[in-house]
Amino acid sequence: MGAADTSRLRIGLGHDTHRLGPGGPLRLGGVDIPCEHSLIGHSDADVLLHAITDAILGAAGLPDIGQLFPNTEEENRHRDSGEMLRAARDKATESGWRIINLDCVLHLERPKFSPHKDDVRTRIAELLEIGKDVVGIKAKTGEGVGSVGRHEAVTAQCVVLLTN
């Protein structure tokens, strides 16, 4: 049996980090989570949606989120990251790609993410117009180590599989 034809598959990896600041709520995956802190950034700083956006763009061979939505442009100040994710999805679709699945890891010390996981998966599936069953999300604490463990930052990673 010969090797499988994988020329119709592409894997993308996305990563993002944002600092935490005072005042909530904490926006993750397009959902506002009650918290005494929020993420700091030029846009709405949704670290999870940024990682997913870059994963999709990378897999499709398109420019990254910083090239498409530069933080030097006033029009991107406080921009909804859901808009950026939908734009990435549309650009990938226009290039002939569709999402098979995505798997994300969120690194945050608090609040506990598990009570919000289903809402976030639902919102991401809505934004991408895919089934919730192909959206994987896990959360890990920093165990008191590094900027995540000291509750100074939140990071997210995402792997996406596309096909054409």
How far is CA 26 from each of CA 38, 70, 162, rounded to the nearest angstrom?
4, 22, 29
Contact between 27 and 38 under an 8 Å Cβ cutoff? The reply is: yes
Query: CA 114, 16, 40, 132: dihedral to nearest 10 degrees?
Result: -40
Instruction: Note the pLDDT of residue 88.
Output: 97
Which residues lie across from 12 on neighbouring strands?
160
Considering the entire predicted model, what is its pTM?
Answer: 0.94
Separation CA 41–CA 157 (nearest Å):
17
CATH of domain 9-163: 3.30.1330.50
DSSP 3-state of 85: helix
Separation CA 96–CA 86 (nearest Å):
15
Instruction: Note the pLDDT of residue 3.
Output: 58
- pLDDT tens string for the chain (164 positions)? 445 666 799 999 999 999 999 999 999 999 999 999 999 998 899 999 999 999 999 999 999 999 998 888 888 788 899 999 999 999 999 999 999 999 999 999 999 999 999 999 999 999 999 999 999 999 999 999 999 999 999 999 999 999 99
Instruction: Note the pLDDT of residue 6.
Output: 66
List Cβ neighbours of 60 (8 Å cut-off, separation of 6 or more).
Answer: 10, 12, 91, 92, 95, 97, 162
Separation CA 47–CA 38 (nearest Å):
11
Contact between 26 and 35 under an 8 Å Cβ cutoff? The reply is: yes
Instruction: Note the pLDDT of residue 1.
Output: 42
